[in-house]
Structure 1
């Protein structure tokens, strides 16, 4: 039987990415968190912007935590292709 810690490693509920390129003056962050909501579902909270400044926030509502974690991983792959890393 797997523990909650093992489950967290397989399906992350929090991910912080950065993209830094001094030559192009790029210093950006992208933060994603999966949180349960009050209605039995889950929300994916996304925050992004320039490092050192307040970011923009977007909340996506999903039917369950698995669906929200899947969305998090899809976005993380897309951000990885654009140069973001942990």
Structure 2
């Protein structure tokens, strides 16, 4: 999961998943401000941590 700025000045919350060594899937959600995108990232991190995932970074 990551937050990236696009060429149009909007912020994208990007999620990527899949098996190691194979083509994965990507989903993007566009937000007007960086704060909104960061809030979405933190919300999704909390959901994943409740399911047992651990942050690597």
Asked if these proteins are the same fold (TM beyond 0.5), I'd say: yes
Q: Does 1:45 align with 2:14?
A: yes
CA RMSD of aligned residues (A): 1.3
Unaligned runs of 5+ in 1: 1-31
Q: Secondary structure at the match of 2:14?
A: strand
Alignment length, in residue pairs?
55
TM-score (norm 1): 0.57
The aligned runs of 1:20-59 (5 Å cut-off) are 32-59=1-28
Question: In proportion to residue count, which structure has more strand?
Answer: 1
Aligned-pair distance for 1:55? 1.8
Q: Distance in 1 between matches of 2:51 and 2:23?
A: 21
TM-score (norm 2): 0.82
Partner of 1:80: 49
User: Considering only CA atoms, is the larger Rg found in Structure 1 or Structure 2?
Assistant: 1
Q: Distance in 2 between matches of 1:50 and 1:84?
A: 16
Unaligned runs of 5+ in 2: none
